[in-house]
Structure 1
Amino acid sequence: MKKMMILAALVFPLSALAETAINGTEINLKANEQPIITAANPAAIAKLPKGLTLAHPGEFTVGISGEGSAPLTVYAEDNKTLIGSEPDIARLVASALGLKLRIVVTSWEDWPLGVTSGKYDAAISNITVTKARKEKFDFATYRKDLLGFYVPTHSPITAITRAEQVAGKRIIVGSGTNQEAILLAWNQQNIHAGLAPMTPVYMTSSAAQALALQSGRADAWFGPNVNGAWQAAKTGRTHLVGNVDGGWPQAAHIAVTLKKGNGLAPAVAAALDSAIKDGSYQRVLNRWGEGVEAIPASEVNPAGLGD
């Protein structure tokens, strides 16, 4: 994914949020400040490449975008500490590898240079595995990439899961994202079939997005399902009308992103597998309402969008 444009402020302060139910899971943000760790795993540690130079000795330094959105990232009650499912996943990897976690809050635009330059050891920022990205980075997957179409509660639209259902509609989508690529591909299919074209609506202001939906200037929002589900639960003003795999027409996964060829990906995958096996991984996803996107095992450099 690229920068995620959602229907409210991009990073929520904990003080502004109450408990929320997502996918049937009650989320208690104050309780979720408590770290979840997994035991150091000798098998994962043994996979760390010999001679590996970490950004900070003894630490796993992870770039996480501060431009994310709940439940991926959210500031704790102190308005300084970044919590959310992404920091939690980073902590599981670090603890399984016997390393201390260091989080570097970054932007979406900066993570590629941060990883390649060695400023941090990994980026965990809702990054989808793609063919193009695999040419520059290595990946260890940790979550399914699931996208969602969300419409206002008063909308007559009941389902959007395939190309013909976007014909003639105005859909809010992030520029340069996987979801934009899917919409544009669907639009071409529709045009060839003689259907009305879809109109992508590009907005950088979350307030403008919400206003466009509620005023009828846009028909739907298309983006990461976890973000849409959070907003629907918090505001009660939108609801889900369809899910699409982020790698349409194939499966796609979100992954820990690492410097190409440094050998760290197998160790990270083993660390994630360790957390999956002991249940700490599922606890992390469940407490953020992301359990439906869990994977049974981490994969290194799997097929992605464009393969």
Structure 2
Amino acid sequence: MLQIKVKILYNKKIKVNYFHLVLRIPKIAKDSLPGQFFNIKVSDTCEPLLRRPLSIHRVKGTNIEFLYEVVGRATQILSQRRPGEYLDVIGPLGNGFNLTPNTYNLTPILVAGGIGVAPLLFLADKLAYSVERRAYRKNKKFKLSAKRYPLNALVLIGAKSTGQVLRKKEFKALGCEVKIATDDASEGFKGKVTELLKNILPLAISHKPLAIYACGPRPMLKEIIRISKKYNIPAQVSLEEHMACGIGACLGCVMNTKEGFKRVCKEGPVFNGDEIIWVGKEEVG
């Protein structure tokens, strides 16, 4: 983890209210892991006072990419920052997705709700690279610079409408099968992405062992965990949470778990689904 001023290379709108930010961070790009985040000071003044956490969307060489939605004053300010300017950032922070050797024996299902797609593309990149490395170990003639072996993964993306569906082409470029769920039926399945997941799981689980990785609103994650327990599928979820310090000092982003309260910014933002204790009533996602 470092606090450092970094150069903006790119910051453009890709869809209504959604922006793609690229920062040059050579010292720590290679150390960043899927599911981790950076805490970003969006302006050079004290307005706004608090930094904003952004999940790492992709890492390419010395550049780190972010995907964010303009939802308030801070992200509006960030959207107005221009290439060549500098941002004060702290990162990489938090614990990301836990990828063990057994991970690669399971077929991944990535489930994204809205801007929750952001960390999952980096995860797909990492999984695809691991597939490529395994192919290289089996056949030394295989060139790592060649086109990647397709990633055998299923990606489910949920959005309100087709205009808010993000990164479909990028997932497909990795070889993923992509299915869309929209609330208004403007693309793909009509309904919640969790309903789509319930529809495809009975057939999918009959063919191969699965693992679920998800990011999105809490109601969606709560329902995904319920579904994963029903089918006895391991699940990891990345929580979206308001944060102040981002380093675990202020205790402003705690989550109740079977082992007591844990800090989303420090022990998370990624948790195993079966360790979370949900408190209060939440609408089903």
TM over 0.5: no
More strand by share: 2
* Bigger helix fraction: 1
Q: TM-score, normalised by structure 1?
A: 0.28
